[in-house]
Each structure stands twice: as structure tokens, then as C-alpha cells.
Amino acid sequence: MSLQMRGATYAYAGTKAIVLAGVDLDVEPGRVVAVVGPNESGKSTLCLVAAGLAPAAIGGRLSGSVVLDGQETATLKPHEAAQRCGILFQNPATQLSGTSVTVWEELAFGPRNLGLSIEEVAERVEAAMATLQIGSLAERDPHRLSGGQAQLVALASVVAHRPTMLVLDEPTSQLDPAGTRLVGDALARLAESGTAVLLVEHKTGLVERVADQVVLLVGGRVETVGPAATVLADPRLDEFGVDPPPSARITRALAAAGHADRLAGIDLGALEAEPIAAVGPGGGG
């Protein structure tokens, strides 16, 4: 098991408010577990706890057990947690090392700190850039990217580290639809190669496509957990402030209007997953 949480309960330093309350969660190698839930339900905190940064790096009180790659995170130092688990923060600006002049160097920062040979560092950087299709940004200043480009660079820098477990806090929040699709493809490939992925994501269309299991987190508690198709079809999602996937919304809207039959023979999930054809950059305009 890459990550095993049992009764994880957490409060930030200097506060009494319980942000996570008795969370049980398992992420196995090669699996994508998505966490959905309303704003302020504890999703970002769950990321920090799962990656071992809370309490090791930011303090706070953790009870229950969080085991990352066979070891209780409470006993890990931040750099030891970082070697087991890569975390992508919600705000890509938080992620940048602040020491790199180019995107290439930014991606090399993590692997270099692992003490790898320059050839190995270069190989990892190139592979990460290819995975997220950001080769054209290699020579750019990482502090002068658009929000979405910065988000892809931040994700690539975590991927270049090649952790066995990835924790991603809304990796597509600033991405265009094609960027979101790209991240979905990248996550699927990483999982295929054995990486365990914990994905916090509001875009349930993406969750539907990549997640094996979905956890619905409400008020710091696991409200429900199960296979993606089951949880995403839960009629209570709306009630909890979680947007159902577009396919479910359309199915329900047509059923409510008495026209469910018009969708016969149309696989909405497949339609959504299928990219539309592009014209070259010179045409169409």
C-alpha cells in the first residue's frame, strides 16, 4: 500500500478546529483515488496530511495513523516524506523553487537534489516535459508564465522527481480544456507505470475519466467512498455542493424533461473523451 490512513484526525497549529475527522483512506500503487467535496471540506488539508507535510513541516496535531510507503508520517522528517511522495500545491506559484532562470532548470531542481548524475537529471527533465508537452517552454523564465503554463510546469517538476506516490491539489484549475485532457492522459500513464495518485479535483468530468475510486469528503469526514462510477452517480453530490459530471447532468436534465430516450445509443462519456478535430494555427480564424 502506498498510502494508508486510519482515523486520521488533524487540527492546524494554534487552532482547535478539527479539519479532518477520522479519515480512512487507501491508495494502492497504480491506482488513482480522487477526492471531491465542497469548498472548505478539508481537501487541501488532506493533501498536506497524506504527503506527510502536516504535521512534519507545518506543525499541528495529528492523531490516528498515516502510513506512507510503510512508514508512519509522524516519524518522517520533511525531506524523507518528500522522497516518498510528491505534492502539487493548489497555487503553482507556491511550487517554484525561486532559484531557476529557466523552466528546464526548474524541472532539474528536484532530481538534482536527489544527487543524480547530470545525464539522469536531463533524462528525467526531458521525459517530464514530454509527458506534459511543455518542451516549447524549456528556455522560458518560470516566473513569467501564464497561470496555466505555470501549473503544467509545476506538475512537471513533481513528475520529474519520480515519486512512487503523487498528491495533486486541483492540478487543472487554471488549465484550458486541452490542458485538462493532457493532465488526465498523463495521470493515466503514470498510474499504468505503477505510481499511486491522490487527486483532489472539482472537475468531475476529469475524475470520471481517470479515477478508480472516488472519496466524497464533507466537513472533514469521508461521506462516501467507492468506485468512480458509483460515487459520481450519487444523487447527493448536488446536495453537498459537488457538481456532477457533465454527462450525468445532461442525462438528468433530459430525463427530467421526459426526453431520456433521445440519448439512446449515445455514450456521453465517450463523446466527452473524444477530442474535436483542430485546424492548423494558420486556418479557421
Partner 1 sequence: MTDPAVQLEGVSFDYPRGPRALDGVDLQVASGELVAIVGQNGSGKSTLVRHLNGLLRPTAGSVTINGRRVGRRHVAELAREVGLAFQNPDRQIFAGKVRAEVAFGPRNLGRRGAELDAVVERALAIVGLTGDEDTNPYDLGFSRRKLLALASILAMETPIVILDEPTTGQDARGISRVQKIVADLSAAGLTVIAISHDMRFVAESFQRVVVMRAGRIVLDGPPQAVFAEESWPTLASTYLEPPLAARVGARLGLGLATPTEAALVSAIAAQATVR
Q: Which residues bind partner 1 (CB under 8 A)?
A: 37-40, 44, 90-91, 93, 140-141, 144-149, 151-152, 170, 173-180, 202, 205, 238, 241-243, 246-247, 249-250, 253-254, 257, 259, 262-263, 266, 268, 271-272, 275-281, 283-285
Q: Name the minimum Å distance from CB 144 to partner 1.
A: 6
Nearer to partner 1, 134 or 190 (CB): 134
Spell out the residues 6+ positions from residue 7 whose beta carbon is closer than 8 angstroms to its own: 22, 23, 24, 63, 64, 65
Helix (H) or strand (E) holding 25: strand 20-27
The grid coordinates listed for 90 are 493548489
Spell out the residues 6+ positions from residue 66 whose beta carbon is closer than 8 angstroms to its own: 3, 4, 5, 8, 49, 50, 52, 72, 73, 74
Q: What is the CA radius of gyration of the chain?
A: 20
CA-nearest of 122, 129, 120, 137 to 186 is 129
Nearer to partner 1, 81 or 175 (CB): 175
Nearer to partner 1, 70 or 265 (CB): 265
Q: Name the minimum Å distance from CB 247 to partner 1.
A: 7
Nearer to partner 1, 7 or 241 (CB): 241
Nearer to partner 1, 15 or 230 (CB): 15
Q: Name the minimum Å distance from CB 127 to partner 1.
A: 21
Integer Cα distance of 120 and 112 in angstroms = 9
Q: Name the minimum Å distance from CB 181 to partner 1.
A: 8
Q: How far is CA 229 from CA 171, 226, 238, 250, in A?
A: 21, 8, 16, 16
Q: How far is CA 84 from CA 37, 40, 199, 227, in A?
A: 26, 27, 16, 26
Q: Name the minimum Å distance from CB 189 to partner 1.
A: 19
Nearer to partner 1, 121 or 137 (CB): 137
Q: Name the minimum Å distance from CB 117 to partner 1.
A: 31
Q: Name the minimum Å distance from CB 35 to partner 1.
A: 12
Nearer to partner 1, 120 or 136 (CB): 136
CA angle 75, 124, 117 (to 5 degrees): 80
At 86, give phi and psi (nearest 5°): -95, 135
Nearer to partner 1, 112 or 202 (CB): 202
Q: Name the minimum Å distance from CB 174 to partner 1.
A: 6
Q: How far is CA 265 from CA 258, 262, 274, in A?
A: 17, 8, 16
